[in-house]
Structure formats: C-alpha cells, structure tokens
Amino acid sequence: MTTIDLDREALESLDVSRAELWQANAWRPLFTRLRAEDPVSYCPESFFGPYWSITRYDDIVAVESDPATFSSSWEHGGIVIFDMQDTGVQLRMFIAMDDPEHAEKRKAVAPAVTPSEIAKLTGALRQRTEDILDGLPVGEPFDWVHNVSIPLTTAMIATLFDFPWEERDKLPEWSDWAAKIDIGPDPVLNAERERHVFEMAARFREIYEERRAAPPKADLLSMMAHSDSYGDMDEQRFIGAIALLLVGGNDTTRNSMSGLIDQINKFPDAWAQVKSDPARLASGAATETIRLQTPIAHMRRTATRDVEFQGKQVSKGDKLVLWYNSGNRDEAVFPDADRWNPARENSRRHLSFGYGIHRCLGARLAELQVATLVEEMARRDMEVKIVGEPERLPSCFTNGFEHLPVTVSRGDG
Ligand code: HEM
C-alpha cells in the first residue's frame, strides 16, 4: 500500500484530488485538517488544474443552494473536477445542466422512480437478492464486488430500463467506462472510453427507437422516448441521458453494497444489533453505509461571477469541489462521525445524494436496494469477513472497490 506522509503536506498546496490518496484510503486525516483549519481552501495546482475545496457540511449546502452563482452546466466545465470540455465524449447530462433545461429533463424521468413505481420493483429486487446470497460459496474466499455488488446492481438497472436480460453484463462495462471522467487527457484511454460509450449509445438508440414506435410503458427508456423534452435529442444529449441513468444507478449502488461489508467488519457489534432487530435497524444500516462510503466523493460547481464565500474571494470561472465525503464526517452535524451507527437519528441528512435541485433522483431506490441486502443477510444470520487487502479505485470521484476478498458463514443452518 502507498505510504503518504501527512505531516509533510503543506496546507497551502494540499491537493486532496490525487488518485493515490483514494486508492490507499488515506484521505481522511487531510479532510479533517481542512475542515478544522481551512474549510474553504484553494489548491493552486493539481492534475485537474486549480480548484477550491469545500469541506464543511454547511458550506456544501450553501453552495448547492445557490445554483445561479454556482453552476452545474457542462458549458462551464460540468460537475466533476475534470473539465468536461477536455474529453472527447462530453456527456450532456441533465445533472450537468442548469435550469430551466435541467428541470424539464428531470421532470420527464422522475415518474419512473416515484415511491409507487419503486414499490412495484420490490418483489423482483428481493428475489434477486435472495438468489445471489443463496448462491454464494460458504467458507471459501471469493470477491464480494464481482459476486454480489455488481450482479445485484446490474439486475436492478436492467429492470429499470427493461434492458434485454441476456445482454445485461454489458451494462457495468459501459457504465464503468462512461464514469471514467478523471482519466485526464490521455489519448489512448480517451479513445477506449469513446469506443465503449459509442457502443452503449448505439445499442440504447436501437432499443429507444423500438420503444418510441411502441405504446408507452413504465420503463425509463419508454418514458424518455415518449416525453416531449427528450423526443429528438442530439447525439451528445442522448448519450448523456443514458450515461447519467446508467452511471447514476450503477457504480454508486455497487459501491454502497461493498461499503456495507467494509463497515460491518469495522463495527461487528453494531452488525450483531442489526441482525437481532432488522425491522428497526436495516434502513439505518443502509443510510449509514451510504453516508460513510460516500460513493460519489464529490460534485463540482463553477462560479458564474466573482463572489466572496466564507471570507474567500472566489473569481468567476473558478471551480469549487464539494467534498461530500468530508461533509458526511463533519462532527458539527454527525457526532462521532466515523462510527457506523444504524440507530443514528440524523443519518438521513448525509450529503451522499447531494442537496438542492440536483439531489439524486434514485436515492429511494438505492436505499431500498441496500436495505433489502441488509435484511436478507440478517435473515440468513450472515457473517462476511474480509480476508485480504481490499483493492480500491484510484479515483477522487467514484469512491469504491475494485475487489473485496471475503468469506461468508451463515448461522441459519
Ligand atoms: C447510493 C447510490 C447513489 C448515490 C450515492 C448517488 C449520488 C448522486 C449524487 C451525488 C448526485 C448529484 C447531486 C447534486 O448535484 O446535488 C446524483 C444525481 C442523480 N442521480 Fe444518483 N446516486 C445513487 C443512486 C442512483 C440511482 C439508483 C439512480 C437511477 C435510477 C440515480 C440517478 C441519478 C440522477 C438521474 C441524478 C441527476 C439528478 C439531477 O441532476 O437533477 N442515482 N446522484
């Protein structure tokens, strides 16, 4: 594992975006320091250029509450630390648009994820969770990411899109490539990314046209195909819309399911409590996991004018990185913040789903998936032990696991 000498890091040039910090899971002390000593701090130089770090909970909420001053638009660079203009595939997603276009497009897909629509998915979701858990080897090491987190999330996304079931293994591959927005200007990697993204777009375009020619149904693609605000989208917007729903639902929920195992290994007593009373604690266990894992570590905004923020002079065009991983550990809001506490009263206030007009559209669905996994593990009296070094992603955006070696035991006979 990389060793990072935190004492030698000078505050004025602290660059928390470095991939190795995330891969080594070594970012916590740096953010603790920023929150305490320089909560709105300027990093003059990084792989992604200069950026502001916003690290306290209230400041993140303040920035997200003022979308006119702090824009999400791809025209200014978009919603991640890497400028979207610099990539071949720019992904014009509504997450990277300001109102009114954002609101219009959000409204068109929102009906697919209302509580009543989600309720219709619960049976299938539970069944798939049960099938996957019951197929796991007992007492033998395996990779939780590839045997549980990925297949379970992929099944859910395929159901939401009503994507051909036999082709579903393509979804995580496309999603992973679409999400690689922090690869920088590397031409080889960008060409590879484009290839996957265009393949995804071509297949989705075919299905989209089929749905458009057929009567409306309740899946996401049919809803988009029959909505006025999607209708005839240009190619960049089409790719963006698909990639948003794919990445939005894929890597995030997957990494929550892996993060759950990380937490129950760190807090076995709390896991024992959840198992003894899942009806009361499963939903808190899911929320606490999503808070502490923070599968999307940051969103970015760009200042549309010169503005003073918390005593700092932010200039028009500056990028502000909202570190949700840090806001979620702000002791002013979450006492004993590093503790996974399924009974925590205000856990739902976490920032992992963002805040304000762009707050995650799939939040309820994601919580339901993770809570269902917790319930079914509890019902089987499952213990999942990490038996090797977890391999983490080298990314300050998708905060998660490549591999998580575990063994499973069951107390239910
Ligand atoms: C644990 C799982 C998830 C996490 C951590 C997560 C995180 C996020 C975050 C941080 C945002 C941006 C919020 C902001 O800018 O304030 C977002 C937006 C969004 N998410 Fe999720 N997400 C998850 C699951 C899902 C799922 C399952 C779906 C799809 C069904 C989804 C679809 C979306 C969409 C469409 C947006 C854009 C909303 C907008 O711009 O108005 N997400 N999500």
Number of residues in the chain: 413
DSSP, res 250: T
DSSP, res 215: P
pLDDT at site 4: 55
Q: For each successive 10 residues of the chain (413 residues), what is the average pLDDT?
A: 55 86 94 95 93 98 98 92 67 85 85 80 88 95 96 88 91 85 75 88 92 86 77 73 82 95 98 97 98 97 98 97 98 98 97 97 92 97 97 93 96 75
pLDDT at site 308: 98
In degrees, rounded to 5, the angle at the alpha carbon of residue 222 between the alpha carbons of residues 219 and 227 is 120
Atom of ligand 1 lying closest to residue 255 CA = 1
Token pair 């080594």 is at which residue? Answer: 24
> Where does ligand 1 bind, in terms of residues with CB under 6 Å?
64, 94-95, 102, 106, 113, 160, 244-245, 248-249, 252-253, 256, 290, 295-296, 299, 352-356, 358-362, 365-366
Tokens (6 digits) for 132: 């996957």
Tokens (6 digits) for 300: 């970015």
Break the chain into its structural domains and give their ranges.
6-410
Atom of ligand 1 lying closest to residue 324 CA = 10
CA separation for the pair 152, 366 (Å, rounded): 12
Give the three-state DSSP class for 199. helix
CA separation for the pair 59, 56 (Å, rounded): 5
Q: How close are the terminal C-alpha atoms of the chain, in Å?
A: 38
In degrees, rounded to 5, the angle at the alpha carbon of residue 267 between the alpha carbons of residues 384 and 374 is 50
| C-alpha to C-alpha distances, 163 to 42, 128, 154, 169, 203, nearest whole angstrom | 44, 16, 10, 11, 10
Give the three-state DSSP class for 166. helix
CA of 103 to the centre of ligand 1 (A): 14
Ligand 1 mutation target, pool 361, 373, 396, most atoms within 8 A of CB: 361
Q: Taking a C-beta distance cutoff of 8 angstroms, is the pair 320, 52 a contact?
A: yes
Q: Parallel, antiparallel, or unpaired for β 51-54 and 319-323? A: parallel
Q: Does domain 6-410 have CATH number 3.40.50.360?
A: no
Amino acid, single-letter form, for residue 274: V
| C-alpha to C-alpha distances, 165 to 110, 154, 216, nearest whole angstrom | 23, 10, 20
- Of all protein residues, the one whose alpha carbon is nearest to atom 40 of ligand 1 is 95
Q: Taking a C-beta distance cutoff of 8 angstroms, is the pair 16, 396 a contact?
A: yes
CA separation for the pair 148, 126 (Å, rounded): 13
Give the three-state DSSP class for 396. coil
pLDDT at site 1: 42
How many CB atoms lie under 10 A from the CB of residue 283?
19
Sign of CA dihedral 172, 174, 178, 184: positive
Atom of ligand 1 lying closest to residue 94 CA = 40
CA separation for the pair 323, 310 (Å, rounded): 16
Q: DSSP string spanning 43-68?
A: E---TT--EEEE-SHHHHHHHHT-TT
Ligand 1 mutation target, pool 353, 357, 374, 399, most atoms within 8 A of CB: 353
- Of all protein residues, the one whose alpha carbon is nearest to atom 21 of ligand 1 is 360
pLDDT at site 232: 66
Q: Taking a C-beta distance cutoff of 8 angstroms, is the pair 88, 190 a contact?
A: yes
- Of all protein residues, the one whose alpha carbon is nearest to atom 30 of ligand 1 is 362
CA of 297 to the centre of ligand 1 (A): 12
- Of all protein residues, the one whose alpha carbon is nearest to atom 20 of ligand 1 is 360
CA-CA-CA-CA torsion for 265, 271, 275, 280, nearest 10 degrees? Answer: -140
CA of 346 to the centre of ligand 1 (A): 20
CA separation for the pair 94, 148 (Å, rounded): 30
